[in-house]
Amino acid sequence: MKKRTFAIRSLAAAGLTAPGAAAMLPPPDQQGANQDRPVGLYEFFTQQHEYTLAGHRSHSSHSSHSSHRSSSGGGSYRSLPPPPATAAPRRTAPRPSTSNSTPPSSVLPQTATPPKVLPGNSGMFANTVMRVQSGLFAYGYYTGAIDGFMGPETKTALMKFQLDRGMPVTGTITQEVLDAFNIKVE
């Protein structure tokens, strides 16, 4: 029972529960104040991370991803530099110089207006996969659907990305992958 409550909270922290469920949960600032809780992967991503994938943050909803599929390249992600021809430093996008500094407010998650519930996808992990897929798409490695599912196409794209960047080629989301797309962990 404890686990269950925990899991739902972590999803809620991402603003990804069903609208009706929000009433059962404490407001976000109360959750943040509770320091003693164990931190799971999903919370890890949502609460301790500062997402600096600025192009994404500006979207009010991920429904705009549907248009990405038909776009011809990564042009819509102007905030990201084009992929380097050879192995490059892992972190290409701007990031704060020290871990304790406060990033510009434009790149912080907008806690006041949590993202809308994504239809058919209530999972925070799927959301993370979407961010990685979007990053791969922006860098020209991936042309499939931004569906939040680590299918073979995503894995292949990710492996190629990892290879080009001199990362361990795992075909899975790793810390290096999050760093490369500036899905940043503090």
Interacting residues toward another protein by CB under 8 A: 3-4, 6-8, 11, 40-42, 44, 122-126, 128-129, 149-152, 155, 170-175
Nearest to 62 by CA among 152, 2, 123, 142: 123
3-state secondary structure of 130: helix
State in angstroms the smallest separation of the CB of 177 from another protein.
Answer: 9
3-state secondary structure of 9: helix
Residue 8 or 88 having the CB closest to another protein:
8
Residue 80 or 124 having the CB closest to another protein:
124
Residue 66 or 172 having the CB closest to another protein:
172
State in angstroms the smallest separation of the CB of 31 from another protein.
Answer: 17
DSSP string covering 40-104: -HHHHHHTSEEE--HHHHT-S-GGGHHHHHHSSSSTT-TTSPPPPSS---S--S---SSTTSPPP
State in angstroms the smallest separation of the CB of 7 from another protein.
Answer: 4
The number of residues in the chain equals 186
State in angstroms the smallest separation of the CB of 45 from another protein.
Answer: 10
The token pair that represents 55 in the structure block: 């192009």
Residue 40 or 103 having the CB closest to another protein:
40
